Amino acid sequence: MPLAAPRSTAAHSTAAHYTADYLRLKGLAEKGNANAQHSLGFMYFNGQGIEQSYAQALHWYGLAAAQGLEHAQYNLGVMCQKGQGVPQDFAQAAHWYQQAAEQGYAAAQYNLGWLYAKGQGLAQDSGLAMLWFSRAAEQGDAGAQNNLGMMYDNGKGVPQDFVQAIAWYRKAAEQGYARAQFNLGLRYDNGQGVRQDRQQATAWMRKAAEQGYAPAQFNLALRYENGDVLPQDSRQAIAWYRRAAEQGHASSQFNLGLIYDNGQGVPCDKQAALEWYVKAAGLGHAAAQHNLGLHHEHGAHDYAQAQAFYRQAAEQGFPAAQYQLGLLYEHGQGMPADAQEAIFWYRKAADQGHVRAQFDLGLRYEHGQGVPPDLSLALEWYRRAAEHDYAPAQYMQGVLHDRDDGPAPDSQQACACYCRAAAQGHSLAQFALGLRHDNGQDVPQDYAAAWDWYALAARQGHARAQFNLGLMAASGQGSPLDLQQAYIWLSMAVAAGVAGAEKSLRQTAARMRETDLARVREQLAAIAG
């Protein structure tokens, strides 16, 4: 959470545009009246009754500041900090804030604390930032109270103390300071420094949201979207996202894009989704940049644009975009094919836990694509992907453990890997387990179990499993002898081009009665039709 920003010149209560006031103040100012000099400077700063002029404002503020008037010192500090009428100069801003702050001027104490916190114009010093925020906070300055809370929250300038953070947030929040209301809501949400109370959290978030604080509006929208604490309400979610999005809140813009993309609570509108993605992407939102890349790759088939958006997100460390960029380099889409660059981006994504990137790196090390072959590294990447319950990686991990020439031959471990993948419906793993039970490899020979595993794989179109089921049905292994069933499975294997399947099919047909053969052929024709 960033500190609240320093303040600009405060609004003036005097009514504007009265020439008589200007003449009266000018007369007093020229006689050396500091308050009049300050007021005249303010009129020039805001163009009240006279032509706006930063130069004249600086002149009259300077005269008043030289006499020690803290209001003028503060306003000079603001102009130096903002670069209004003078080149931006944080050191000079700090100088004027210091003079006003030492006189007890709360707004100057606040801004001086902010400069110390950020190290602008003077050496960064959390302790001195804490000191000046404290002095302003003790005068009731809500912004300083909030920032003091954040210093305690983050342990900057003081030991981390959530209880103290809560106390200062509450002081500011009860004054209606939106940022503090939001911060207090966050602490009630996670139970840091206070007993967790998500209803209370939501109440403070709403107070901040209703004042227009975009992060609170976003948080409230999330609650409505997910039915979290609040009843699920897509309309309310969209309304709060929109209010934040229109203030330039990138995550709200992105979420609105997702809502329109998926038609959640609104009719699906791809154009509206793109418009919100573009806005969020323009603010550097990596997920929005990634989604624009997907649109250009798979929708518009503009690979050059796709890679440009992927690259923006990838360079921010977004793993999905890094993986997609790797794929474009691998296939030469939008840029010349470059196996080394593909590997570079796969590795970036894989190191962050991107499962597909980890798996693909395993494949490339296994087969020497873009890297020297290295079965040990292949196994390591498969293992990392497998830990995320990625079935293809679990299967390939098993395959490498099954290899006598592999980096870590271990038939039992291979079997365990196949079991994990098979339980997720991976047909190759199911077939591998069928073979193990069929041949009694690492498990007791069990034709019934083999049949069951083959059947699972065969129903997913695994041709060798279909062939093996046909042979087993024809011989009564693992299930009662059933020539019609055998004929069906063998026919499927023949269609898939399995070697030996056609011969076995003819042999099975020769053993069948003509009526049974005709019936099963009708069944197959119906399936094919």
Q: How confident is the model at residue 528 (pLDDT cuts 50, 70, 90)?
A: confident
Q: How many domains does the chain have?
A: 1
- pLDDT at res. 37: 95
Least confident among 14-28, 156-170, 176-190: 14-28
CA-CA distance, 278 to 305, in Å (whole number)? Answer: 13
**265: Cα separation from own chain's centroid:** 22
The DSSP letter of residue 14 is S
Instruction: Taking residues 414-421, report their average pLDDT.
Output: 97
List all residues 6 or more positions away from 169 whose beta carbon is below 8 Å from its beta carbon. Answer: 145, 146, 149, 180, 183, 184, 187
Instruction: Taking residues 329-350, report their average pLDDT.
Output: 94
CB 309 within 8 A of CB 296: yes
- Give the DSSP H/E element, type plus range, for residue 417: helix 411-423
Instruction: Taking residues 60-89, report their average pLDDT.
Output: 97
Which domain, by its residues, includes 127?
A: 1-139
On the question of pLDDT at 438 being above 80, the answer is yes
- pLDDT at res. 9: 57
Which pairs count as long-range contacts for 297-303, CB under 8 Å and 24+ apart, including other chains?
Answer: 297/324, 297/328, 297/333, 299/270, 302/334, 303/328, 303/333, 303/334, 303/335
On the question of pLDDT at 6 being above 70, the answer is no
Q: What are the tens digits of pLDDT across the range 108-128? A: 999 999 999 999 999 999 999
On the question of pLDDT at 17 being above 50, the answer is no
On the question of pLDDT at 7 being above 80, the answer is no
Hey, how many other C-beta atoms are within 10 angstroms of the C-beta on 334? 20
Tokens 């998500």 correspond to 198
**CATH number of the domain that residue 127 is part of:** 1.25.40.10
Considering the domain boundaries, does residue 397 fall inside one? Answer: no
- pLDDT at res. 5: 63
Considering the domain boundaries, does residue 333 fall inside one? Answer: no
On the question of pLDDT at 369 being above 80, the answer is yes
Output Rg (C-alpha) for the chain, integer angstroms. 36
Q: How confident is the model at residue 362 (pLDDT cuts 50, 70, 90)?
A: very high
- pLDDT at res. 157: 86
Q: Which residue has the higher pLDDT, 301 or 278?
A: 278
- pLDDT at res. 13: 42
* HSE, side-chain direction, 13 A CA sphere, residue 525: 6
Considering the domain boundaries, does residue 48 fall inside one? Answer: yes
- pLDDT at res. 8: 60
Give the rounded percent of residues in the chain with a pLDDT score beyond 90: 90
Question: What's the chain's length in residues?
Answer: 529
Q: What are the tens digits of pLDDT across the range 303-314? A: 999 999 999 999
Report CA torsion sign: 5, 9, 13, 17: negative
Considering the domain boundaries, does residue 96 fall inside one? Answer: yes
Considering the domain boundaries, does residue 11 fall inside one? Answer: yes
What pTM did the predictor assign?
0.83
Considering the domain boundaries, does residue 340 fall inside one? Answer: no
Considering the domain boundaries, does residue 25 fall inside one? Answer: yes
The DSSP letter of residue 4 is P
Considering the domain boundaries, does residue 260 fall inside one? Answer: no
